[in-house]
A = this chain, B = another copy of it.
Amino acid sequence: MYSLDHLTMFVESAKSGSFSACARKLGKVQSAISQGIAHLETDMNKQLFDRSTRKPSLTEDGKRLLVYAEAVLRQSQELHSVVQAIDRMEEPLIKLAVENALLVPKFSQILQTFSKRFPATAIEVISMTSTDVLDDIMNHQAQLGLMFTHHSFSEDVELCYIGNLPFYPVCAHHHPLAQAQHIKVNELIAHKQIMLRGAKGEATHWLPKISADIWWANSFSSIYKLVEQGIGWSYLPGHLADERLSFGRLTRLPFSIDHKDWSPSIELITPKNIVKGPALSWLYEAMKELLD
């Protein structure tokens, strides 16, 4: 079992190429380093530095072992950073309940930044339908939720409106509707519409039911597959539709101009009276900008 102090001397000496410089940096005397390294070398029974020259240079063995020594120190730093994170009362785990449709690119960006800022806090993303999001927050299964606005208020949750998510009507490029120039809403009635419905069979209230003939699916990826095969048309969230329009497999339905995009409003929710640690506070503020 090598001592971390000795490993630090090893790594620092290798980096600065001098025992004296290392001593200065570590706030010790030169002989301490010299002895420390010598000690490490006898412990390992390996020569780490070649002292024949003015500045000690790594031997082959030294080069090979250096990267492993650095890895040990990195882990040790990691441990210490978690200790400090606890001092700052950063949470060990944040559960995030997210409406399926809201996994926009910026969402991952925010989590990316978060993981750099709070390496000691784990994130659990649970994607589900909006009604389940509300349940999870009320039962304290999750600390933060993202969902479509739900107009039944509750005393237990705190809501924050953060913007709207545009939906486009789309169909496959070989679907009959794809040829039309202008489509009035009543022309749609004859074509099958695909809609989202959760596991419990609850329909989504935040998108209009237009056609007479409806098929249901429980995720946007299944909706996409049905639409792609020309089964019917559907509303898809802008960010999902865009990437699929660019593949050329989908066509945006040319609704008549007086028909605006549907843009259901989105809310960020937390349980009321929850104590927000630094990590949760940061994430809460960051998520407010999700749709900007």
Contacts and interface: CB of A to CB of B under 8 A. Distances in A.
A79 B65 contact: yes
B79 A68 contact: yes
Interface in A1-43: 1-5, 7-8
Interface in A24-81: 44-46, 60-61, 64-65, 68-69, 71-72, 74-76, 78-80
Interface of A: 1-5, 7-8, 44-46, 60-61, 64-65, 68-69, 71-72, 74-76, 78-80, 82-83, 86-87, 92
By DSSP majority rule, is chain A's interface helix, strand, loop, or mixed? helix
9 contacts: A1-B76, A3-B4, A46-B83, A61-B86, A65-B79, A71-B79, A72-B72, A72-B76, A72-B78
A92 B72 contact: no
B80 A2 contact: yes
A169 to B, nearest CB: 36
A80 B7 CA distance: 12
Most buried by B among A7, A60, A68, A78: A68
A3 B82 CA distance: 16
Contacts of A2: 4, 76, 79-80
Contacts of A75: 68, 71-72, 74-75
Given A1-B4, A8-B1, A69 B79 contact: yes
Contacts of A8: 1
A68 B75 CA distance: 7
B71 A83 contact: no
A23 B96 CA distance: 42
Contacts of A45: 83, 87
A72 B1 CA distance: 12
Nearest to A63: B92
A266 to B, nearest CB: 33
Contacts of A3: 3-4
A278 B5 CA distance: 33
Contacts of A74: 75
A177 to B, nearest CB: 33
Nearest to A83: B44
Contact of A5 (B1, B78, B80, B83): B1
